[in-house]
């Protein structure tokens, strides 16, 4: 039973860490802000959940599991709110989801619009 828990925990931890790498890769490679939000949300939901679940399976006391669950609740409440706030502020601030060229930088955007 303990061996099965260890294997499940290891699989969860490795998958979560790989999701973190994928998310960071998306942050670097994707072309503009509104697509980079997709990459950011992988780390906020999938990666965080799998890493916390893998750590809960390794926890040796009840209190540690409760604290890990609290971290998960806080992350799941705040991460989508922060992502929504970034997208809303960018939309008000003049970036456009329809025209990716505008989002490449301030100077180029001004050149395009003048």
Partner 1 sequence: MFSLVTFLVVIAMAMTLIRAVRGPTPYDRILAVNVHGTMTVLLIALAGFLTDRPDFLDLSLAYALLNFVGTLAALKFFKHGHLGEEP
Mind giving me the DSSP string for 44-59? IIIIHHHHHHHHHHH-
d(CA 25, CA 95): 22
Asked if residues 42 and 51 have their Cβ atoms less than 8 Å apart, the reply is no
Binding-site member from 2, 4, 62, 81 for partner 1 (CB under 8 A): 81
Q: Which of residues 12-71 bind partner 1 (CB under 8 A)?
A: 13-14, 16-18, 20-21, 23-25, 27-28, 33, 36-37, 40, 43-44, 47-48, 51-52, 54-55, 58-59, 61, 63-64, 67-68, 70-71
d(CA 28, CA 12): 25
Asked if residues 103 and 86 have their Cβ atoms less than 8 Å apart, the reply is no
Binding residues for partner 1, per CB under 8 A? 10, 13-14, 16-18, 20-21, 23-25, 27-28, 33, 36-37, 40, 43-44, 47-48, 51-52, 54-55, 58-59, 61, 63-64, 67-68, 70-71, 74-75, 78-79, 81-83, 85-86, 89-90, 92-93, 95, 103-106
């Amino acid at each position: 039973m303990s061996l099965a828990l260890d294997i499940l925990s290891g699989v969860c931890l490795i998958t979560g860490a790989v999701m973190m790498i994928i998310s960071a890769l998306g942050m670097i490679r994707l072309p503009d802000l509104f697509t980079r939000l997709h990459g950011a949300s992988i780390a906020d939901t999938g990666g965080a959940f799998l890493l916390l679940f893998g750590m809960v399976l390794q926890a040796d006391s009840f209190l540690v599991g409760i604290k890990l669950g609290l971290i998960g609740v806080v992350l799941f409440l705040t991460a989508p709110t922060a992502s929504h706030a970034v997208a809303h502020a960018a939309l008000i601030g003049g970036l456009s989801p329809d025209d990716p060229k505008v989002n490449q930088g301030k100077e180029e955007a001004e050149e395009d619009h003048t």
